Chains A and B, each alone.
Chain A
Amino acid sequence: EAGVAQSPRYKIIEKRQSVAFWCNPISGHATLYWYQQILGQGPKLLIQFQNNGVVDDSQLPKDRFSAERLKGVDSTLKIQPAKLEDSAVYLCASSLGRLNTEAFFGQGTRLTVV
């Protein structure tokens, strides 16, 4: 079974530029998450989708971050404009359902903002 695919693996941009990350979840997984992991911290949830609807985006900085999951499969996360503090690993995860089930993570995208 193919895992969660993410691209790119690495990205370096200057502050105030924009960047986009792509995620393809495990086939059949209805729930998709984007997490931000800053160095030395645990992953922090940014947004949760159930199929193509947003379930929870309370921790997404909506003035600069946006995410969509068209057709309930692939998802993109965008940052515009980027700030230095956005430097982190962005992890996509998917799960069969929302409750009492493990999430499977992709390898992540390491973003460096200079």
Chain B
Amino acid sequence: DQQVKQNSPSLSVQEGRISILNCDYTNSMFDYFLWYKKYPAEGPTFLISISSIKDKNEDGRFTVFLNKSAKHLSLHIVPSQPGDSAVYFCAASGGYGGSQGNLIFGKGTKLSVKP
């Protein structure tokens, strides 16, 4: 049973436009959410995070929005650049006991930004 879902395997946008990547989760114990970017043959790179006490976190061109009632978060990239082309993973952590701190990942969304 997938606790973190990224329902769009791929997304294509034009350079300069906004990219919106979506993520849904089912576990209400999750209290910390992260986005990672992954280029081929490299490990995931941390991009931005948000705590469940917030509904928005911004870092330069990247903004993450959290809607706890809907168990939904999204990553906005504005403006999109060709170098943003990568696979983006949504991850969540929380819970109790030994599972605290474990990151649960979605399957990823492949973003292609066309010049």
Chain A residues with a Cβ under 8 A of chain B: 4, 31, 33, 40-45, 48, 55-56, 58, 91, 93, 95, 97-108
Contacts and interface: CB of A to CB of B under 8 A. Distances in A.
A112 to B, nearest CB: 14
A44 B43 contact: no
A44 to B, nearest CB: 7
A18 B66 CA distance: 44
Contacts of B102: 33, 45, 48, 56
A93 B49 CA distance: 17
A44 B89 CA distance: 12
Contacts of B98: 48, 55-56, 58
Interface of B: 4, 31-32, 34, 36, 41-46, 49, 51, 89, 91, 93, 98-108
B101 A41 contact: no
A45 B108 CA distance: 15
Given A48-B98, A56-B102, A100-B31, A42 B4 contact: yes
Contacts of B34: 102
B65 to A, nearest CB: 18
Nearest to A42: B105
A59 B103 CA distance: 13
A101 B102 CA distance: 10
List the 4 shortest-distance A-B pairs measured between CB atoms, nearest first: A42-B105, A98-B101, A105-B43, A56-B98
Contact of B43 (A40, A42, A99, A108): A108
B41 A56 contact: no
Given A43-B103, A48-B98, A91-B43, 16 more contacts: A43-B89, A43-B105, A45-B102, A91-B44, A95-B101, A97-B101, A98-B100, A99-B93, A99-B101, A100-B31, A102-B34, A102-B49, A103-B46, A105-B36, A107-B42, A108-B42
B101 to A, nearest CB: 3
A4 B45 CA distance: 11
Contact of A103 (B42, B103, B108): B103
A103 B104 CA distance: 12
